[in-house]
Amino acid sequence: MIRAYELTKRYGETTVVQDLDFTVRPGTVTGFLGPNGAGKSTTMRMLLGLDSPTRGRSTIGGRAYAAHSAPLTEVGALLEARSVHPGRTAFNHLMALAHTHGIPRSRVEHVLDLAGLTAVAHKRIKGFSLGMGQRLGIAAALLGDPATLILDEPVNGLDPEGVLWIRNLLRSLAQQGRTVFVSSHLMSEMALTADHLIIVGRGRLLADTTVADFVATAGSTSVKVVTPQAHALRELLTGPGIEITPGPATPPDGLEVRGTDAAHIGRTAAAHAIPLYELTPQTASLEQAFMDLTQESVEYRIATPEPTGALA
């Protein structure tokens, strides 16, 4: 189990993390999400004793990271996969780590095989692709067979097969009762991998909930409507709190309606003899729910591009 108690980190006048309080429980994959600059990496570094908090504290398995006598066997971490000696081979890199904790050669060979690196185990790391480097970093995190895993962007650089591999691996580790704490910018992947979410913005805790509850409460739901009388129905539905836009899939006869439910739309259409070809509630995706929650916490915004030909 990972616990954070009012974790705060300041650099001069800049507060990067402020009063973070959360628990990462064993037996689940907990996703750690937030916009760029939200303080995710800083938080992970504080959990691992790489940065000292300005205030607050954290524990892993009931103790501060530095208090673990054999940390590799307690906590596996991946923060920066490229923090390795480029002249070493993958095998020698892992063996060097193993020697510090009395981990046998057989375990090194096992994690190389698990990470799909057996065929390149004796190649120098400087020739590795980004994806191979990530696999090596994950192998190193698993080397001590730890009860807790802290992984920062583990799917970075992986191909689709590698993404599926890490997804299945993380879920398998959680099912074994381990604590799995993982950050990612890929919302679609988090939706498939995580059971629980901790979301931060500008260093503050925004949400600490299950994926299902977060999507249900934070995301803006809508209703997809397809009708040959879209304009007439739009006029009838327009009112306070109701947002109606052209449906992205089926314009001009499609509408996307927010602020009311399918039953109200159906009753309104029936009362005015407006035929409906489709009336489908749309559940918000994790990505949409995340964007809705964090829209005030982003460090920068990308300007909407002008349509082609709009500039003279």
Q: What is the CATH number of the domain that holds 181?
A: 3.40.50.300
Whether residue 176 is found in the same domain as residue 57? yes
Res. 81: pLDDT tops 80: no
- The answer to the question of residue 302 being in a domain is no
24-44 b/e with 16+ CB inside 10 Å = b? bebebbbbbbbbebbbbbbbb
Q: In what order do the strands lie in the sheet with 243-246?
A: 243-246, 254-258, 222-226, 278-282
Residues in the chain: 312
The domain total for the chain is: 2
pTM reported for the whole predicted model: 0.81
Taking the alpha carbons at both ends of the chain, their separation in whole angstroms is: 59
Question: 215 in a domain, yes or no?
Answer: no
pLDDT tens for each residue of 192-232: 999 999 999 999 999 999 998 888 777 667 899 999 999 99
- Mean pLDDT for 147-171 is 94
Nearest-10 Cα torsion for 177, 180, 186, 191: 30
User: Which H or E run includes 140?
Assistant: helix 130-142
| pLDDT for residue 301 | 53
pLDDT of residue 139: 97
pLDDT tier for residue 281 given thresholds of 50, 70 and 90:
confident
% residues pLDDT > 70 (the chain): 92
Residue 149 covered by a domain: yes
Cβ pair 10, 16 in contact under 8 A: yes
**Structural domain harbouring 255:** 222-282
- Sequence-ordered strand ranges (E) for the chain: 2-11, 14-24, 29-33, 55-60, 75-78, 148-152, 179-183, 196-201, 204-210, 222-226, 243-246, 254-258, 278-282
Residue 42, domain member (yes or no) = yes
Give me 95's structure tokens.
């063996």
Q: Is the pLDDT of residue 13 over 90?
A: yes
Return mean pLDDT, the chain.
91
pLDDT at 300 (0 to 100): 54
List beta partners, residue 14. Answer: 11
Helices and strands, number each (H, E), in the chain:
11, 13
Mean pLDDT confidence for 256-277: 94
Residue 312 has a pLDDT of 37
91 and 198 belong to one structural domain: yes
3-class DSSP assignment, residue 32: strand
Same domain, 102 and 228: no
Residue 291 in this model has a pLDDT that exceeds 70 = yes
Within-domain flag for 294: no
Average pLDDT rounded to a whole number, residues 55-70: 96
